[in-house]
Protein backbone atom coordinates (compact mmCIF):
# COMPACT_ATOMS: atom_id res chain seq x y z
CA UNK A 1 0.00 0.00 0.00
CA UNK A 2 1.44 3.35 -1.06
CA UNK A 3 0.39 5.22 2.08
CA UNK A 4 1.91 2.63 4.41
CA UNK A 5 5.14 2.76 2.42
CA UNK A 6 5.24 6.53 2.94
CA UNK A 7 4.55 6.13 6.67
CA UNK A 8 7.29 3.53 7.02
CA UNK A 9 9.81 5.57 5.05
CA UNK A 10 9.11 8.64 7.17
CA UNK A 11 9.50 6.55 10.32
CA UNK A 12 12.91 5.41 9.09
CA UNK A 13 13.97 9.02 8.63
CA UNK A 14 12.74 9.99 12.08
CA UNK A 15 14.37 7.01 13.86
CA UNK A 16 12.29 7.48 17.01
CA UNK A 17 12.38 5.46 20.25
CA UNK A 18 9.15 3.50 20.61
CA UNK A 19 8.21 1.53 23.74
CA UNK A 20 6.42 -1.79 23.43
CA UNK A 21 4.95 -2.20 26.91
CA UNK A 22 3.92 -5.83 26.34
CA UNK A 23 7.46 -6.96 25.66
CA UNK A 24 6.98 -10.63 26.53
CA UNK A 25 3.93 -11.12 24.31
CA UNK A 26 4.56 -13.14 21.12
CA UNK A 27 3.14 -10.68 18.57
CA UNK A 28 4.91 -7.75 20.19
CA UNK A 29 8.31 -9.39 20.23
CA UNK A 30 7.90 -10.47 16.60
CA UNK A 31 6.86 -6.93 15.63
CA UNK A 32 9.87 -5.58 17.51
CA UNK A 33 12.18 -7.84 15.52
CA UNK A 34 10.56 -6.69 12.26
CA UNK A 35 10.81 -3.03 13.25
CA UNK A 36 14.49 -3.32 14.10
CA UNK A 37 15.24 -5.27 10.94
CA UNK A 38 13.40 -2.72 8.77
CA UNK A 39 14.89 0.22 10.74
CA UNK A 40 11.40 1.61 11.44
CA UNK A 41 12.30 2.71 14.97
CA UNK A 42 14.54 2.15 17.93
CA UNK A 43 12.68 -0.36 20.10
CA UNK A 44 12.36 -0.45 23.86
CA UNK A 45 10.86 -3.68 25.21
CA UNK A 46 9.44 -3.82 28.74
CA UNK A 47 9.62 -7.18 30.47
CA UNK A 48 11.91 -9.72 32.04
CA UNK A 49 15.11 -9.82 29.92
CA UNK A 50 15.59 -13.58 30.35
CA UNK A 51 12.04 -14.27 29.21
CA UNK A 52 12.34 -11.92 26.24
CA UNK A 53 15.63 -13.43 25.12
CA UNK A 54 14.26 -16.96 25.53
CA UNK A 55 11.24 -16.07 23.40
CA UNK A 56 13.48 -14.51 20.76
CA UNK A 57 15.46 -17.73 20.63
CA UNK A 58 12.28 -19.83 20.48
CA UNK A 59 10.86 -17.83 17.56
CA UNK A 60 14.17 -17.52 15.73
CA UNK A 61 14.27 -13.72 16.06
CA UNK A 62 17.74 -12.42 15.28
CA UNK A 63 17.42 -8.67 15.89
CA UNK A 64 16.10 -8.48 19.46
CA UNK A 65 19.64 -8.07 20.76
CA UNK A 66 19.51 -4.54 19.28
CA UNK A 67 16.46 -3.60 21.36
CA UNK A 68 16.74 -1.88 24.72
CA UNK A 69 15.17 -4.20 27.29
CA UNK A 70 13.99 -2.79 30.61
CA UNK A 71 12.79 -5.01 33.44
CA UNK A 72 9.97 -3.06 35.17
CA UNK A 73 10.70 -4.84 38.44
CA UNK A 74 14.45 -4.25 38.47
CA UNK A 75 16.17 -1.29 36.81
CA UNK A 76 18.49 1.47 37.92
CA UNK A 77 15.93 4.28 37.84
CA UNK A 78 13.13 2.48 39.65
CA UNK A 79 13.40 4.54 42.88
CA UNK A 80 13.55 7.78 40.87
CA UNK A 81 10.38 6.82 39.03
CA UNK A 82 8.61 5.80 42.25
CA UNK A 83 9.35 9.23 43.71
CA UNK A 84 8.20 10.91 40.52
CA UNK A 85 4.90 9.05 40.32
CA UNK A 86 4.21 9.58 44.01
CA UNK A 87 4.78 13.34 43.73
CA UNK A 88 2.67 13.48 40.57
CA UNK A 89 -0.34 11.65 42.00
CA UNK A 90 -0.20 12.10 45.80
CA UNK A 91 -2.81 14.87 45.61
CA UNK A 92 -5.12 12.24 44.08
CA UNK A 93 -4.56 9.93 47.07
CA UNK A 94 -1.71 7.82 45.71
CA UNK A 95 0.59 6.49 48.44
CA UNK A 96 4.28 5.81 47.92
CA UNK A 97 3.61 2.09 48.42
CA UNK A 98 1.00 2.15 45.67
CA UNK A 99 3.36 4.15 43.43
CA UNK A 100 6.01 1.46 43.92
CA UNK A 101 3.58 -1.16 42.61
CA UNK A 102 2.41 0.95 39.68
CA UNK A 103 5.98 1.62 38.51
CA UNK A 104 6.36 -2.14 38.06
CA UNK A 105 3.36 -2.11 35.68
CA UNK A 106 4.66 -1.75 32.08
CA UNK A 107 1.61 0.32 31.16
CA UNK A 108 2.73 2.92 33.70
CA UNK A 109 6.46 2.56 33.10
CA UNK A 110 6.06 3.26 29.37
CA UNK A 111 4.55 6.74 29.82
CA UNK A 112 7.06 7.50 32.57
CA UNK A 113 9.92 6.75 30.16
CA UNK A 114 8.34 9.12 27.64
CA UNK A 115 7.85 11.83 30.26
CA UNK A 116 11.52 11.55 31.28
CA UNK A 117 12.78 11.86 27.71
CA UNK A 118 13.90 8.24 27.36
CA UNK A 119 11.32 7.33 24.71
CA UNK A 120 9.25 9.15 22.09
CA UNK A 121 6.09 7.06 21.94
CA UNK A 122 4.39 3.88 23.10
CA UNK A 123 2.37 1.02 21.61
CA UNK A 124 0.31 -1.33 23.81
CA UNK A 125 -3.04 -3.05 24.06
CA UNK A 126 -2.55 -6.46 22.44
CA UNK A 127 -3.39 -8.09 25.80
CA UNK A 128 -4.86 -5.14 27.70
CA UNK A 129 -8.10 -3.17 27.53
CA UNK A 130 -8.11 0.30 25.98
CA UNK A 131 -8.81 1.95 29.33
CA UNK A 132 -5.77 0.28 30.88
CA UNK A 133 -3.57 1.71 28.12
CA UNK A 134 -5.07 5.20 27.94
CA UNK A 135 -5.47 5.90 31.69
CA UNK A 136 -1.75 5.94 32.58
CA UNK A 137 -0.99 7.96 29.44
CA UNK A 138 -3.46 10.67 30.43
CA UNK A 139 -2.28 10.71 34.04
CA UNK A 140 1.44 10.90 33.20
CA UNK A 141 1.94 12.28 29.69
CA UNK A 142 -1.24 14.38 29.82
CA UNK A 143 -2.89 16.06 26.85
CA UNK A 144 -1.23 18.37 24.32
CA UNK A 145 -1.13 22.11 25.09
CA UNK A 146 -4.55 23.70 24.62
CA UNK A 147 -6.23 20.29 24.23
CA UNK A 148 -8.28 18.48 26.87
CA UNK A 149 -9.68 15.60 24.81
CA UNK A 150 -8.06 12.29 23.89
CA UNK A 151 -9.79 10.97 20.78
CA UNK A 152 -9.07 8.67 17.86
CA UNK A 153 -9.06 8.58 14.09
CA UNK A 154 -9.11 6.02 11.34
CA UNK A 155 -7.16 6.42 8.13
CA UNK A 156 -9.49 5.00 5.48
CA UNK A 157 -7.59 3.79 2.43
CA UNK A 158 -9.46 3.14 -0.82
CA UNK A 159 -7.60 1.01 -3.36
CA UNK A 160 -10.54 0.59 -5.76
CA UNK A 161 -12.91 3.57 -5.83
CA UNK A 162 -10.91 6.76 -5.15
CA UNK A 163 -13.49 9.11 -6.64
CA UNK A 164 -14.30 11.14 -3.54
CA UNK A 165 -10.96 10.85 -1.76
CA UNK A 166 -7.62 12.59 -1.61
CA UNK A 167 -5.39 10.15 -3.51
CA UNK A 168 -7.40 7.26 -2.07
CA UNK A 169 -7.35 8.47 1.54
CA UNK A 170 -9.95 9.91 3.92
CA UNK A 171 -9.59 10.59 7.64
CA UNK A 172 -12.51 9.75 9.97
CA UNK A 173 -12.82 10.94 13.61
CA UNK A 174 -13.80 10.22 16.29
CA UNK A 175 -14.67 6.58 15.67
CA UNK A 176 -13.35 4.84 18.74
CA UNK A 177 -12.94 6.81 21.99
CA UNK A 178 -15.05 9.86 22.87
CA UNK A 179 -18.81 9.09 22.87
CA UNK A 180 -20.68 12.42 23.00
CA UNK A 181 -18.43 15.51 22.80
CA UNK A 182 -19.72 18.95 23.67
CA UNK A 183 -18.96 21.96 21.46
CA UNK A 184 -15.46 22.57 22.82
CA UNK A 185 -14.57 18.89 22.80
CA UNK A 186 -15.78 18.42 19.23
CA UNK A 187 -13.74 21.45 18.18
CA UNK A 188 -10.62 19.99 19.80
CA UNK A 189 -11.22 16.68 18.02
CA UNK A 190 -11.35 18.57 14.71
CA UNK A 191 -8.12 20.46 15.41
CA UNK A 192 -6.15 17.41 16.58
CA UNK A 193 -7.44 15.30 13.69
CA UNK A 194 -6.27 17.89 11.18
CA UNK A 195 -2.81 17.83 12.76
CA UNK A 196 -2.79 14.03 12.71
CA UNK A 197 -3.89 13.93 9.06
CA UNK A 198 -0.85 16.01 8.18
CA UNK A 199 1.68 14.13 10.34
CA UNK A 200 0.46 10.60 9.58
CA UNK A 201 -0.95 10.75 6.05
CA UNK A 202 0.86 13.82 4.71
CA UNK A 203 -2.44 15.48 3.81
CA UNK A 204 -3.21 19.17 3.53
CA UNK A 205 -6.23 18.83 5.83
CA UNK A 206 -9.62 20.12 4.68
CA UNK A 207 -11.99 19.48 7.56
CA UNK A 208 -15.74 18.91 7.21
CA UNK A 209 -17.85 19.06 10.37
CA UNK A 210 -20.59 16.58 9.57
CA UNK A 211 -24.27 16.80 10.45
CA UNK A 212 -27.70 15.83 9.08
CA UNK A 213 -28.00 19.44 7.88
CA UNK A 214 -26.07 21.58 5.41
CA UNK A 215 -25.87 25.32 6.00
CA UNK A 216 -29.18 25.69 7.77
CA UNK A 217 -31.25 23.16 5.85
CA UNK A 218 -32.62 21.95 9.20
CA UNK A 219 -32.84 23.21 12.76
CA UNK A 220 -31.92 21.19 15.86
CA UNK A 221 -29.72 21.52 18.97
CA UNK A 222 -27.39 18.86 17.54
CA UNK A 223 -26.88 21.03 14.46
CA UNK A 224 -26.17 24.04 16.67
CA UNK A 225 -23.52 21.97 18.47
CA UNK A 226 -21.72 21.31 15.17
CA UNK A 227 -21.97 24.94 14.04
CA UNK A 228 -20.59 26.23 17.34
CA UNK A 229 -17.86 23.60 17.40
CA UNK A 230 -16.75 24.79 13.96
CA UNK A 231 -16.48 28.36 15.23
CA UNK A 232 -14.47 27.26 18.27
CA UNK A 233 -12.11 25.18 16.10
CA UNK A 234 -11.37 28.28 14.02
CA UNK A 235 -10.59 30.18 17.22
CA UNK A 236 -8.21 27.45 18.38
CA UNK A 237 -6.45 27.36 14.99
CA UNK A 238 -7.23 30.38 12.77
CA UNK A 239 -5.31 28.79 9.89
CA UNK A 240 -7.40 25.62 9.93
CA UNK A 241 -9.30 24.88 6.71
CA UNK A 242 -12.68 23.88 8.11
CA UNK A 243 -16.38 24.27 7.41
CA UNK A 244 -19.65 23.06 8.85
CA UNK A 245 -22.33 22.08 9.24
CA UNK A 246 -22.17 19.80 6.19
CA UNK A 247 -23.94 16.61 5.22
CA UNK A 248 -21.76 13.76 4.00
CA UNK A 249 -22.57 14.25 0.34
CA UNK A 250 -22.03 18.01 0.54
CA UNK A 251 -18.63 17.37 2.12
CA UNK A 252 -17.43 14.99 -0.59
CA UNK A 253 -19.34 15.51 -3.84
CA UNK A 254 -18.55 18.64 -5.84
CA UNK A 255 -21.88 18.84 -7.65
CA UNK A 256 -23.82 18.53 -4.39
CA UNK A 257 -21.56 21.08 -2.70
CA UNK A 258 -22.25 23.66 -5.43
CA UNK A 259 -25.96 23.29 -4.79
CA UNK A 260 -26.03 22.98 -1.00
CA UNK A 261 -22.96 24.99 0.10
CA UNK A 262 -21.95 27.41 -2.67
CA UNK A 263 -18.80 29.36 -1.88
CA UNK A 264 -17.44 26.86 0.65
CA UNK A 265 -13.75 26.04 0.19
CA UNK A 266 -14.25 22.71 2.00
CA UNK A 267 -17.56 21.39 0.66
CA UNK A 268 -17.05 18.95 -2.18
CA UNK A 269 -13.36 18.37 -1.47
CA UNK A 270 -13.06 17.50 2.24
CA UNK A 271 -10.46 14.90 3.20
CA UNK A 272 -11.03 14.95 6.98
CA UNK A 273 -14.52 14.03 8.21
CA UNK A 274 -15.46 14.88 11.80
CA UNK A 275 -18.54 13.07 13.07
CA UNK A 276 -20.76 14.66 15.73
CA UNK A 277 -20.59 11.64 18.05
CA UNK A 278 -19.15 8.17 18.40
CA UNK A 279 -22.32 6.48 17.17
CA UNK A 280 -22.04 8.19 13.79
CA UNK A 281 -18.27 7.80 13.49
CA UNK A 282 -18.10 4.15 14.45
CA UNK A 283 -21.02 3.16 12.22
CA UNK A 284 -19.61 5.13 9.28
CA UNK A 285 -16.12 3.66 9.40
CA UNK A 286 -17.39 0.09 9.68
CA UNK A 287 -19.86 0.55 6.81
CA UNK A 288 -17.16 2.17 4.68
CA UNK A 289 -14.74 -0.62 5.48
CA UNK A 290 -17.20 -3.34 4.44
CA UNK A 291 -19.23 -1.77 1.63
CA UNK A 292 -16.40 0.12 -0.05
CA UNK A 293 -13.81 -2.58 0.66
CA UNK A 294 -11.65 0.09 2.31
CA UNK A 295 -8.71 -0.54 4.60
CA UNK A 296 -9.16 1.03 8.04
CA UNK A 297 -5.88 1.91 9.77
CA UNK A 298 -6.58 2.52 13.42
CA UNK A 299 -7.90 3.45 15.84
CA UNK A 300 -5.03 5.89 16.17
CA UNK A 301 -5.06 7.86 19.42
CA UNK A 302 -4.52 11.60 19.37
CA UNK A 303 -4.61 14.58 21.71
CA UNK A 304 -1.81 13.42 24.04
CA UNK A 305 1.36 15.47 24.49
CA UNK A 306 3.33 12.47 23.17
CA UNK A 307 1.90 9.61 21.09
CA UNK A 308 0.54 6.45 22.69
CA UNK A 309 -1.40 3.98 20.58
CA UNK A 310 -3.78 1.25 21.63
CA UNK A 311 -3.92 -2.06 19.78
CA UNK A 312 -6.83 -4.35 19.07
CA UNK A 313 -6.50 -7.57 21.06
CA UNK A 314 -7.02 -9.38 17.76
CA UNK A 315 -4.05 -7.64 16.12
CA UNK A 316 -1.25 -9.37 14.26
CA UNK A 317 2.48 -8.78 14.50
CA UNK A 318 2.22 -6.92 11.19
CA UNK A 319 -0.46 -4.65 12.68
CA UNK A 320 1.84 -3.81 15.58
CA UNK A 321 4.71 -3.17 13.16
CA UNK A 322 2.58 -0.65 11.26
CA UNK A 323 1.37 0.95 14.50
CA UNK A 324 4.99 1.45 15.53
CA UNK A 325 5.60 3.32 12.26
CA UNK A 326 2.43 5.41 12.69
CA UNK A 327 3.40 6.25 16.27
CA UNK A 328 6.82 7.42 15.09
CA UNK A 329 5.14 9.67 12.53
CA UNK A 330 2.93 11.20 15.23
CA UNK A 331 5.95 12.51 17.13
CA UNK A 332 6.16 15.31 14.55
CA UNK A 333 3.19 17.70 14.51
Look at residue 273 and tell me whether its pLDDT is greater than 90. yes
The arithmetic mean of pLDDT across residues 167-181, rounded, is 93
Question: Cα 174 vs. chain centroid, distance in angstroms?
Answer: 10
Q: Residue 15 — very low, low, confident or very high, per pLDDT cuts 50/70/90?
A: very high
* Residues counted in the chain: 333
Q: What confidence score (pLDDT) does residue 331 get?
A: 92
Look at residue 279 and tell me whether its pLDDT is greater than 80. yes
- DSSP reduced 3-state for 172: strand
On whether the pTM is more than 0.75, the answer is yes
Mean pLDDT of the chain: 94
Q: Measure the CA–CA gap between 243 and 282, rounded to whole angstroms.
A: 21
CA angle 225, 227, 228 (to 5 degrees): 65
Pinpoint the alpha helices (H) of 67-176: 78-89, 96-102, 106-115, 130-140
Q: What confidence score (pLDDT) does residue 85 get?
A: 97
Q: Could you read off the pLDDT of 119-135 as tens digits, one per residue? A: 999 999 999 988 899 99
DSSP string, 40-65: S-EEEEES-HHHHHHHHHHTT-SSGG
> Bridge partners of 173?
153, 274
Q: What confidence score (pLDDT) does residue 248 get?
A: 96
**Domains of the chain by range and CATH?**
2-142+306-330 (3.40.50.10950), 151-297 (3.40.50.10750)
Look at residue 187 and tell me whether its pLDDT is greater than 80. yes
Q: Could you read off the pLDDT of 203-253 as tens digits, one per residue? A: 999 999 999 999 999 999 999 999 999 999 999 999 999 999 999 999 999
Q: What confidence score (pLDDT) does residue 1 get?
A: 65
Q: What confidence score (pLDDT) does residue 252 get?
A: 96
Q: Output the CA–CA distances (angstroms, integers) from residue 247 to 152, 185, 286, in the order listed.
A: 21, 20, 18
Q: For the chain, how long is the longest CA-to-CA vector?
A: 66
Amino acid sequence: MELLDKIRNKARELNKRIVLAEGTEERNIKAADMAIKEKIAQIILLGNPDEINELAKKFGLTHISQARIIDPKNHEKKELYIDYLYELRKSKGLTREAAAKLVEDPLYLGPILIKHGEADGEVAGAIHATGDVVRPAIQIIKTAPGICVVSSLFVMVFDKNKKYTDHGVLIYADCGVFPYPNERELAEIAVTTARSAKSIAGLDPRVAMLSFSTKGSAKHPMIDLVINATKIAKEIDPNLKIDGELQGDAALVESVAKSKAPGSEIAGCANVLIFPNLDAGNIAYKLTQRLADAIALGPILQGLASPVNDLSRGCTAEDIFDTIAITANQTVQ
